[in-house]
Structure 1
Amino acid sequence: MVSSTSPNTAYSFLSLGDSYTIGESVGEADRWSVQLAGLLRKGGMDVGNPDIIARTGWTTSELQDAIKASGNTKTYDLVSLLIGVNNQYRGQSLATYRTGFRELLQTAVRYAKGKPNRVFVLSIPDWGQSPFAEGRDRQKVGAEIDAFNAVAQEECRAAGIAYVDITPLSRQYAKDTSHFASDGLHYSGKQMKLWAEQALPVVKKLLQ
């Protein structure tokens, strides 16, 4: 676990996920959740930089196992979740994803002091539009990402958890290489800033 929350801030923040949360191939300041915390502070909300439990390549089950292994028993005022691209990439079923995602929502709520209204989810970006996906069936990848996101949105709705759709942003700027990290697969701080801005009004409401 990456820990950076200051004990003196009014709101603590935990960010759960995979490469998109840990910010593979970019600096710590470029991570979307770190940028979001900064935007919240600019808006007058005293939110610390997030503790992060995330690693490149993790599926839902691997994230859940890592959370258990972390031994993190803290609770937080705000919890984010962005997970599922590796389930899709490895060809796992939607049913497997639904089960794992539902369990992670429950875990996130526990970390949020039992409050679903302090948890929010970001949709899975469409890596099929990345430079890395050159030569692959981009349309198939996009359709599968949409199907996984539909499951996540359904589960969020059922659990009363906020859902932030960032997938269109990952498609809108697909031809702009400045929105990608050097590996051509993961996203740059520039793209992740857009995610943070998309989440900002939602999260402001959650903290009010």
Structure 2
Amino acid sequence: MGAASFLALGDSYTIGEGVEEEGRWPVQLAARLRERGIAVDAPRIVATTGWTTDELSAAMDAAALLPRYDLVTLLIGVNNQYRGRSVAEYREQFLALLRRAAELAGDVRRVLVVSIPDWGVTSFAEGRDRAAIAREIDTFNAVARDETLRMHAHWVDVTPASREAGARPGMLVDDGLHPSAAQYAIWTRTILSEAEAALGE
């Protein structure tokens, strides 16, 4: 049996804005899986900084993705929140993306959704209403978690880790907003067991 194929869908957090390729969490995840004896290809990443749910969907159309991937991850929504888009719109578009991810995986149990981190704790958010950002992120994540679990996909909550990392030294890249490879390593440890479970389905 060949190596497992891996598709990572998302935005700046998945493409790893500001970090080297090996620092991106999907790349780190593939490396950790290999260390555990699970053969997995380098991830195909469909993600760009700034994408919202509808922009990711359009990019997936353009990429002409074909089933089937052994693992599909999805982390999307921070730009919906940042741009003030509605939670109702997010639910509808997130669910459509989740269904597409399930089709690409051939089985919804091979889909792993990662929560939206809280950018309100970063130095970039200085002077903004951090409490309001946190509340909005929690609301978007509650929607994503609800739809993910209802579909029986895997859910991983990295938001607490993002809040704990905050603006601590070494946890952000130079823009003061995006996680560093060191913070992504913390996320990867949180994601690893669910990724193993998804690949075992």
TM-score range for the pair, normalised by the shorter chain length: over 0.9
Partner of residue 161, structure 1: 153
Cα offsets for 1:94-141 (capped at 9, x unmatched): 00000010000011011102x011000000000000110011110000
Report how many aligned residue pairs link the two structures: 200
Cα distance between partner residues in 1 of 2:155 and 2:73: 10
Instruction: Tell whether 2:134 aligns with 1:172.
Output: no
The answer (yes or no) to whether the contact 2:51–2:79 under 8 Å persists in 1 is yes
CA-to-partner distance for each residue in 1:1-41, whole Å, 9 max, x for gaps?
Answer: xxxxxxx9420000000000000011100000100000000
Q: Which residue of 2 aligns with 1:3?
A: none
- C-alpha separation in 1, matches of 2:167 and 2:95: 34
Decide whether the 8 Å contact of 2:67 with 2:103 is kept in 1: no
* 8 Å Cα contact 2:30-2:43 kept in structure 1: yes
The answer to whether the 8 Å contact 2:167/2:176 transfers is no
Q: Which residue is equivalent to 2:103?
A: 110
What residue number does 1:33 align with?
Answer: 26
- Kept in 1, the 8 Å contact 2:73–2:112? The answer is yes
Give the aligned residue type for 1:123. Answer: S
Structure 1's consecutive aligned runs of 4 or more residues displaced over 3 angstroms after TM superposition are none
Instruction: Name the residue aligned to 1:86.
Output: 79
Give the secondary-structure state (helix, strand or coil) at the position aligned to 1:80.
Answer: strand
What is the match of residue 95 of structure 1?
88
Distance in 1, matches of 2:41 and 2:69, equals 11
When residues 72 and 10 of structure 1 are mapped into structure 2, their CA distance, relative to the original with a 3 A threshold, is same
Is the 8 Å Cα contact of residues 10 and 46 (structure 2) preserved in structure 1?
Answer: yes
TM-score of the two chains, using structure 2 as the length reference = 0.97
**Is the contact made by 1:9 and 1:48 (CA closer than 8 Å) also made in structure 2?**
no
Q: Once the 2 structures are TM-superposed, how far is the Cα of residue 74 of structure 1 from its aligned partner?
A: 4.3
Structure 2 gaps, min length 5: none
- Aligned pair partner of 1:77 in 70, 82, 85: 70
Secondary structure of the structure 1 residue equivalent to 2:170:
helix
Per the TM alignment, residue 154 of structure 1 is displaced from its structure 2 partner at its CA by 0.4
Q: How does 1:1-208 map to 2 (within 5 A)?
A: 9-113=2-106, 115-208=107-200
Is 2:73–2:111's contact at 8 Å kept on the other side of the alignment?
Answer: yes
Identity of matched residues, %: 50
Conservation of the 8 A alpha-carbon contact between 1:181 and 1:187 = yes
Letter in structure 1 aligned against 2:7 = L
